[in-house]
């Protein structure tokens, strides 16, 4: 294994790393970790660390996937499962979030939930033929009745579905998680048809074709190899090089939780996270790199030294329903952590400034976005 002491041989100025070079960096040992972090941190454009003040609303927790690490998905028979959150309740929650300064309405829902009879029936009672129709109506109501900007993460979507949702969302997202087909035969994804890499890559690609500002990323610690991490990052880079629509990349660490199939699987080490975040920043120096602070409560400051420049969505009013056991840090605490590193915390919207134009937003969304941006 090569040492990164010969880092000058790598083309780091433009982030054009080859797979073999990425694998080398992902295997960086103790003596070279500081060098890797320093190089990654040098890619930072300024001293600003951003976050989005959001309210997280799960419209349904029914999902066709049974991921080995997930606690978001619920069976329809579970007493507390969200089958379909009502529009009235949703708007009430959004207005509550608005009182606390939230500007992003993060809508998450299980993938293809309307394939379940109980969800389909609930939709029909409300006068909707599909989850897409209901989601569109909710996003439209959000724009009309609140000052929040919708951001949707609904799993795999078709080109037509994304084209429709683009009219009422300032941005959207889908984690690639991994480009490894091998993981489809493991405990992580063997019961999750929606995690097939080709389907997720197609969805992210379609977002690019439609000029939708997009969030994606990888999940590490679910059984992938260093080579597969490198391939996943390069797949995202290829998509962004082609379309330029990816506004932020999340490097998310697996966390074991009681009751999940992977509860005894070891989570990635701090050094694994440091290496992966650093490599991501070197590869994507024009894209924000985000590490969820609630999943790394005691170590999140470390990633600021690796070039990470965004804390992601942080809610003062709602739970992280994907990781309910991991509470959001208080924004005051994030500000203290950020300033302690000699950096400045700034609030952003669900869409980054470079995408606030007519190439990405219709007139209604653009006007509302620009109005909100002036209030930050």
Q: Which residues sit in the known binding site?
A: 63, 67, 70
Q: Are 277 and 270 in contact (CB under 8 A)?
A: no
**Which among 181, 167, 241, 176 has a CA at the least distance from the CA of 203?**
176
Helix (H) or strand (E) holding 252: strand 246-253
Only one residue has tokens 């009745």, namely 145
**Residue 186 DSSP SS3:** coil
Q: At what angle do helices 131-145 and 363-373 cross, to 10 degrees?
A: 50
User: Which residues are CB-contacts of 153 (< 8 A; sequence separation ≥ 6)?
Assistant: 106, 107, 108, 109, 172, 173, 174, 215
Contact 54, 106 (CB under 8 A): yes
CA distances for 270 relative to 40, 205, 282, 285, angstroms: 16, 31, 18, 22
Rounded distance between C-alpha atoms, residue 359 and residue 323, angstroms? 34
Element at 311 (helix H, strand E): strand 310-314
Residue of 274, 213, 267 whose CA lies nearest to 245: 213
Rg of the chain (C-alpha set)? 20
61 neighbors 299 (Cβ within 8 angstroms):
no
Spatial distance between the Cα atoms of 129 and 172, rounded to a whole number of angstroms: 22
Q: At what angle do helices 270-283 and 226-243 cross, to 10 degrees?
A: 30
CB atoms within 10 A of CB 296: 20
Q: Which residues are annotated as a binding site for [4Fe-4S] cluster?
A: 63, 67, 70
What sign does the CA torsion over 337, 341, 344, 349 have? negative
CA 360 to CA 358: how far, in whole Å?
A: 5
Count of residues in the chain:
376
């Amino acid at each position: 294994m090569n040492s990164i002491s010969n880092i000058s041989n790598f083309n780091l100025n433009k982030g054009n790393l080859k797979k073999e070079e990425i694998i080398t960096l992902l295997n960086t040992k103790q003596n070279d970790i500081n060098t890797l972090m320093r190089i990654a941190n040098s890619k930072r454009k300024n001293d600003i660390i951003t976050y989005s003040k959001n309210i997280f609303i799960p419209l349904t927790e029914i999902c066709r996937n049974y991921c080995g690490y997930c606690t978001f998905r619920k069976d329809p028979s579970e007493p507390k499962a969200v089958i379909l959150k009502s529009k009235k309740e949703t708007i009430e929650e959004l207005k509550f979030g608005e009182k606390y300064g939230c500007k992003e309405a993060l809508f998450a829902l299980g993938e293809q939930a309307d394939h379940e009879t109980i969800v389909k029936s609930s939709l029909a009672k409300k006068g909707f033929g599909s989850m897409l129709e209901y989601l569109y109506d909710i996003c439209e109501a959000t724009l009309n009745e609140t000052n929040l900007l919708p951001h949707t993460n609904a799993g795999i979507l078709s080109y037509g579905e994304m084209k429709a949702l683009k009219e009422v969302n300032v941005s959207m997202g889908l984690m690639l998680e991994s480009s490894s087909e091998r993981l489809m035969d493991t405990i992580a994804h063997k019961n999750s048809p929606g995690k097939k890499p080709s389907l997720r890559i197609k969805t992210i690609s379609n977002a690019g074709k439609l000029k939708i500002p997009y969030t994606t990323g990888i999940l590490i610690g679910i059984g992938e190899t260093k080579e597969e991490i490198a391939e996943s990052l390069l797949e995202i880079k290829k998509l962004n090089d082609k379309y330029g629509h990816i506004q932020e990349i999340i490097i998310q660490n697996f966390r074991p939780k009681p009751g999940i199939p992977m509860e005894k699987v070891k989570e990635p080490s701090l050094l694994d996270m440091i290496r992966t975040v650093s490599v991501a920043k070197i590869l994507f120096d024009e894209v924000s790199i985000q590490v969820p602070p609630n999943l790394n409560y005691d170590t999140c400051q470390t990633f600021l030294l690796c070039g990470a420049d965004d804390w992601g969505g942080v809610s003062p009013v709602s739970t992280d329903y994907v990781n309910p056991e991991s509470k959001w840090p208080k924004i005051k605490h994030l500000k203290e952590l950020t300033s302690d590193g000699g950096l400045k915390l700034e609030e952003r919207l669900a869409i980054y400034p470079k995408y606030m134009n007519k190439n990405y937003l219709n007139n209604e969304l653009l006007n509302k976005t620009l109005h909100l941006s002036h209030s930050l």
